Structure 1
Amino acid sequence: MRTTVAAFDVGGTHSRLRGGRAGEPEYGEWKVRTADFPSLGDLVTATLGAAGLRPESVVLAVAGRVPAHGNVQMTNLPHWPLFERDAFVAEHGIRLRVVNDMTATAHGMADLGPDEVRPLTRHDAASHADELLAVSVGSGVGSALLDGRGEVRTSESGHVTWQPVDAFEAGYLAFLRSGSGGSGGLAGVVTVEESIGGLRGFDRMYDYVCHATPPAPGLHAGVTEARRTGAAVAPLITAAALAGDPCAREAVRLFAALFGQYLRDMVLVCMPAGGAVTLTSGVLQAPGVAEFLCAETAFLDRFISPGACHHDLLAEVPVRLALDPLVGVRGAYRLATRDALGEGQAR
């Protein structure tokens, strides 16, 4: 029997599927390793087949820029072939909408209840904010704005640049350009995602910090093994930082400073009249990480930047952490349900 809807949140490391009948509370969920598949089309068809789903309406939320025609090249999987939306629809006879993963995340955040978020700043007036900025640090870095009408404006904000404000950060930028430590030199523009993202940024921050602060043997062994197997090093580094490892703490402090600067820029560009920020994704939702950023790093100081222009606005913007790790696929499923019920338009 054909199911009605299916939704994918396709990330650089893991992908999630949620499937069920539109308008009914029950659904199933599945998780796969993205790199186990040779293309986006293969991931979708194989995962649907393994789950026993034959949906009529599908939403693909992908970590990549989505043009109007829906053909997508995954940002962190450049070896994958271009996904051609119309050809996939013709082959499988489904209704398909392709959206940026941050579009789905913002729609998922619209459904979050008070018990599904944790305030990170001293005040939390987010429930009264007209606009919400959803910000994610997983394999990549991204943001999307949910406005007062419930419409989402996405971006490729992880690919903006950043500026160092002290000698340590200037050294990191020089390190990135030089390719020291085997990270590979970055010619031209050095982006936020390349510098602090979970897929490559944490590797680079770790290598940079190691020059001055050698890691403990256990952390070094764990990172070496993760690199050998292709696993992410970010969870190892954040866990070691919380456990007190000096090298890991320096790496996370560097991340926090640059992330705070990025968040400040996004709020000033997207919400000049104020609003609220909700953080999500693997790096930030790891137990204790968001609290560590706020209590023991320059994250909030760099976000507010006391003394800089508009610091008063930034000081009043609530910052919260989404507790649901599946907020992306949750939003994609919401869109798929709307499409199936005729409340949205596949594109």
Structure 2
Amino acid sequence: MQIDKETYPSQDFKSLDDVVDAFLARPAVRERPPHAAALAIAGAVSANKCLMTNVEHWPIIDGDDIQAKHGFRVALLNDFEAVGYGIPVLGPHDVVALNDVPVQPKAPKVVMGPGTGLGAAQLMWDTGLNAYKVWPGEGAHATFAPRGWKQKALARFVTERCGHCEIEEVACGSGLELIYEFLQSDEAANRPELLKHRTKKAVKEISAAALDGSDPLAVEAVDLMFAIVGAEAGAMALRCLAKGGVYIAGGITPKLLPRVKAGSLLEGFLMRAGREPFHKILTQTPLFVITNERVGAMGAREVAKNLLHQRRQQQA
């Protein structure tokens, strides 16, 4: 049951603790104060502590300190860890299948997706819990492994610009902007008809132009990014034999679903499928796009419910 919700820009607050204070001060929340909280953070969590990756002015977030201050149990989660816990409670209307492969019950699952960054996590079945356990990771910061001359040229372009080319740098919102800029520098000299599109664009502009087809470079940039995302999804599927499904989440993919359905993501996913036994593994791995953008909140809710259940057991 949802009591209240609110959006808080991180730049308006000095810490997550201040955000929690603001939310708890809302009238609806004061009437029904929480007994447990699961807080999903964009960063690596260790010992219930986390430093947010992209909010540099915030200090280290300490879940135990928040718990001691407010008197309810607090668990910090990586943001894609929360997405992972949301996957088992998704309904058929919350996903779009990109292939016609059934999910194998209790088999490993993978979730990843481009947004502000590139998040990823693995889900493994825990027989003791009789439920999936989610293991987040920071694989997005591994070195990008390009395929073909264009991706290799892109990797050189990004390396010259950033000093290194991680997967995340070509598979997220800012990565899409970099790809678009690369295609202008790489393509325009040989394709004069594209010169009229030679201007810097933000991710929203690139996405809109790709969807309506008004800018062929935008279409190419989006398709190239999804080919890279698909390739990384295929690599993750092979690492853990994800017969339980590979799920693509994040803020970008659902908004660009028509381009996803055009095929570059699935093609990237199956790129290794020309070799046995990888062909059989990947062609028999279910691939989905998560269209419910609240999947992370759904997962955090499941974790909070478990915290509350543990609290009640201890009190019994």
TM-score using structure 2 length: 0.84
Which whole-Å CA distance do the structure 2 matches of 1:205 and 1:170 have between them? Answer: 12
Query: Aligned equivalents of 2:61 and 2:39: distance in 1?
Result: 11
Kindly provide the amino acid, as one letter, of the partner of residue 90 in structure 2.
Answer: L
Higher helix share: 2
Question: 1:283 corresponds to which letter in structure 2?
Answer: I
Which segment is superposed worse, 135-144 or 208-217?
Answer: 208-217
Cα distance in structure 2, aligned partners of 1:293 and 1:330: 24
**Which structure 1 segments of 5+ residues have no match?**
1-24, 180-184, 224-232
Letter in 1 for 2:206: I
Cα distance in 2, alignment partners of residues 243 and 296 from structure 1: 17
Tell me the matched-pair count. 296
The residue matched to 1:110 in structure 2 has which SS?
helix
Q: Say whether 1:155 aligns with 2:137.
A: yes
> Is the Cα–Cα contact under 8 Å of residues 215 and 247 in structure 1 kept in the other structure?
no
The CA deviation at 1:104 is 1.0
Contact 1:206–1:251 (8 Å) recurs in 2: yes
**What percent identity do the matched residue pairs reach?**
28
Match of 1:303 in 2: 269
Structure 2 CA distance for aligned equivalents of residues 344 and 127 of structure 1: 33
The letter of the residue matching 1:251 is A
In the TM superposition, what are the counterparts of 1:310-321 in structure 2 within 5 Å? Answer: 310-321=278-289
Tell me if structure 1 keeps the 8 A contact 2:176–2:203. Answer: yes
Distance, in Å, in 2 between the alignment partners of 1:318 and 1:291 is: 19
Asked if 1:250 is matched to 2:191, the reply is no
User: Would the aligned equivalents of 2:36 and 2:304 in 1 still touch at CA under 8 Å?
Assistant: yes
Tell me how far apart the structure 2 counterparts of residues 255 and 301 of structure 1 sit (CA, whole Å): 12
1:234–1:283: 8 Å Cα contact kept in structure 2? no
Distance 1:51 1:261 in 2: 47
1:31 corresponds to which residue?
7
How much has 1:26 moved relative to structure 2?
4.3
- Counterpart in the other structure of 1:290: 257
Give matches, 1:99-138, under 5 Å.
99-121=77-99, 123-126=100-103, 128=105, 130-138=107-115
- Residue 45 of structure 2, aligned match among 66, 69, 74: 66
The 1-side partners of 2:101 and 2:274 are apart by 22
SS across alignment from 1:124: coil
Aligned residue runs from structure 1 range 154-303, under 5 A: 154-179=136-161, 185-187=162-164, 190-198=165-173, 200-211=174-185, 212-213=187-188, 220=199, 223=201, 233-244=202-213, 245-271=215-241, 274-286=243-255, 289-297=256-264, 299-303=265-269
Q: Deviations over 1:289-310 (max 9, x none)?
A: 234224253x222211232351
Query: For the residues of structure 1 that align with 2:309 and 2:105, how far apart are their CA atoms?
Result: 29
> C-alpha separation between the residues in 2 aligned to 1:93 and 1:130?
38
Give the AA of the match of 2:225. F
Question: Whole-Å Cα distance in 1 between the matches of residues 28 and 139 of structure 2?
Answer: 36
Partner SS state of residue 6, structure 2:
strand
Quote the offset at 1:259 in angstroms: 0.9
Secondary structure (helix, strand or coil) at the match of 2:57 reads coil
Spell out, residue by residue over 1:168-202, the C-alpha distance to the aligned partner (whole angstroms, 9 max, x if none): 111111111212xxxxx234xx211122212x212
Instruction: Indicate whether 1:49 and 2:25 are aligned.
Output: yes
Letter in 1 for 2:11: A
**Code of the aligned partner of 1:132:** K
The alignment status of 1:341 with 2:309, answered yes or no, reads yes
Structure 1 residue 342: Cα displacement: 2.1
Name stretches of at least 5 consecutive residues in structure 2 with no aligned partner. Answer: 127-131, 189-193
